[in-house]
Each structure stands twice: as C-alpha cells, then as structure tokens.
Amino acid sequence: MSKVLIVGAGIAGDALAVLLDRAGWQVDVVEIAPALRAGGQTVDLRGDSRDVLERLGLLDAALAATVEQRGIAWIDEHERRRAEMPVEAFGGAGFVSSEELLRTDLARILHGATGPRTSHRFGDTVVGLTEVDGGVSVQFREHPPERYDLVVGADGAHSRVRRLVLGPEEAFRRPLGLAHAWFTLNETPTTPRLDGWFLMHNVPGARVVEARPGHPGEQEVGLTFPADTLPPRGDAEARFALLERTFADVGWRTPEFLAAARTADDFALDTYDQIQTDTWSQGHVVLLGDSAWCASPLSGLGTALALRGAAVLADQLGARLPEDVDGVLAAYEAAMRPVTVRAQAMYPGRVRSFAPHTRPGIRAMTTVMRLVQRGPVGAILTRLVPDYGRSGEAAPSRAPMRSPR
C-alpha cells in the first residue's frame, strides 16, 4: 500500500485525500491549524466544482448547504443601488450563482468524506523534507520523522512545502496591488438584512466594502484596499489599526464592520496575489492548489481549480505510486498548467474594474455593469458565458463572470 502525506486540510488537500483513500492509498493529512479552518467567503457549484463533487458523491450534500442568493448589487453610502446583477443574469452565469455555499461548509463536507485509511493531524506541520530512495523523509514540528512514498503540498499560497523544495515565497509571488479582509458578522435584531443580496460599496482610493449572505443570522463581510504588504500575521492590533485608518472616512455600514472585525472568530487578512512557478514537483514532492498556481480570489476559480487539480492528480497516480513518478507528475502538470494559466489571466482590467480608484471610475464601472445586461450586448454574453463555466475552458476574453472568493 502506497503512503502519501498531504500537507494542508483545505479544499484541495481533503478532496485529494478522499480520492486517494478510495483508490487504496494510506493517507496522512497534516494541518498547521488546531482544527478544521472556518471562515471564508462563498463558493459556487458551477463547472468543475459541480463535476468533481458529483464524482465524489458529495454534490447533494453541497447543494443542501447552499445559502440564499439573489444576486449582486453595487450601492452608494445610502445603500441606493447604482447597478445590480441578479443570479438569473446571462443564463445563470453571472457574478453570483443561485447555488453557492460557504467555503467552511464545503471544507466540512470534504473532511467528513475522508475514509478509513486517512488520518488527520492538526496543530502540526512539516519543517524538513529529505529525498530518500523511492520516497521522502519528513520532519515534523511536533511528531517524529516518517517516510512517505509521496508528499503533496496543498498548504495554500503561503506554502511551507513550496518554500522547502523550491525556494522563498518572494520568488513566486506576484502581488495584484490589493489586500482583503474577510470575516463573519453575527446579526442582532437591529442589523440591516441582506435578503439574499451581495452588496458592494465602492469608494475612491480603490476601496471596497462588501456584505453577503451567510448562515442564518450571519453575514460575510469583506474589506478591500490597495496594499502589497501587510503588518506581520502575529500583530493583530497593527492589522486592525491599518483597516481602521484605511476606512475611517467611509460611510454605509463600515464603522459597524470595523467594530465587528475585532471580535470575529474567523477574521483573516491577506493580499491578493498570484503564485507562478516553473515547476510544481521535485522528486517525490508535488504541489497542488493555491500552493502551485494561486490565481487569487479575483479569478473566482480557486475552488474549481483546487477540486479539478485534486481529481487530475489522483487519476494520474492511480491505486499506488507508479514507478515512473517523474512522468506521472509531469502528466499532471501538463493537464493542469494550461488551465491555471488561463485562470490567472482573468479578463482585461479585472483588478481596476473591481476596485476603481476614482469617483468617475466607479460611475463608469457601475454603468458598464448595467449596460452589459441589456440589449444586443446582453444577448451576446448570455449566449457565450454558459459555455465557459468550467475552469478548463475559461479563456481570458470569455471567462465566466465570477465574484471574488
């Protein structure tokens, strides 16, 4: 029985764990967090996400966990709508899908589907990887060293595995010039309700304040602003202070959101980056998901790419580690790299259109959002975008409209 270590219990890691366990592998999953990570925005069930979940037998569970979605609306500080795009736009292929669930629920579903040959170790991570004859000797922070036939780094854009085998993050990180905070807000009797709408408030300075539906009694909040670097992860006060300075003059519900950020259990803050590497494997170590190809949440394809990548890697590996490891990992990369390159390309002006710098730019963006849904342009786009709902088919000029995840 071949033995694999998957570093990272996220979407990509646990999806691969399910598939390899079913194929007969012994699977260990190590996750630096003390428990399954909560938080994150919604992910939709179009294209590859739906296909892979159906293959796993988990589509019904995912559909049962969806949250109410009526569409996205761009608003001013008084919550007057400048533009809106309902879920029915473009034949259901607009920015927001009618079938979306929170990332935390999808992670829970995948985690619950892992089989009897899979074990999870939380609160630990790898600190060293040494290639040995036919495998890898792994040094852990908390556990004794072990030997594995294969190590998969599915530990996100800030991957420790990638750093150990390929080099420092700075060599592969391509910042997009924006940072994003996200967290869950618990509603009170006086909290304004969203009624299924994802509300987006753009203000000058490329700043965006968002609120979207979550679990009953909860709203998912996002704060986006220009930044390439952030205070250290361990300095929570500096991070909160940065948000409060950046959004001090912003209206709508922003003061409420800033106060909620300080008490949210799932508060997170990171830059919008892409990861670009020349190779995804070295010896018996291979990268998967954001650790290999992060396209940034602005692509809207992170979950679809993670699920598809897990399926492709599992299919290439089969029931046991093949003798030609290099060839198998090269075939996996050959299948996935064109897909990820297209996803990273996004469509022209994606960053600027999401967060315009000026009031005229905001007016222009919302005007375009209204016009593209009307008349001949809307009819053409409605015919085009449903055919590009899969990450493997999404071309830069015809990519499906997705909201940032």
- Look up residue 258 and give its amino acid: L
pLDDT in tens, 46-69: 889 999 999 999 999 999 999 999
What are the Cα distances from residue 316, in Å, to 15, 263, 295, 379?
A: 15, 44, 23, 40
pLDDT in tens, 271-303: 999 999 999 999 999 999 999 999 998 888 999
Q: What residues are paired with 198 via a beta bridge?
A: 72
Question: Which residues neighbour 15 within 8 Å (Cβ) at sequence distance 6 or greater?
Answer: 52, 56, 110, 306, 307, 310, 311
Mean pLDDT, all residues of the chain: 92
pLDDT in tens, 107-161: 999 999 999 999 999 999 999 999 998 999 999 999 999 999 999 999 999 999 9
**How far is the C-alpha of 225 from the C-alpha of 261, rounded, in Å?**
15
Q: What is the pTM of this model?
A: 0.93
Of the pLDDT bands very low, low, confident and very high (cuts 50, 70, 90), residue 374 is confident
Question: What is the pLDDT averaged over residues 171-199?
Answer: 97
Of the pLDDT bands very low, low, confident and very high (cuts 50, 70, 90), residue 85 is very high
Report the candidate in 158, 150, 206, 159 with the shortest Cα–Cα distance to residue 180: 206
Would you say 191 and 272 are in contact if contact means Cβ atoms under 8 Å apart?
no
Of the pLDDT bands very low, low, confident and very high (cuts 50, 70, 90), residue 32 is very high
Would you say 210 and 199 are in contact if contact means Cβ atoms under 8 Å apart?
yes
Question: What is the pLDDT averaged over residues 228-250?
Answer: 97
pLDDT in tens, 313-348: 999 999 999 999 999 999 999 999 999 999 999 777
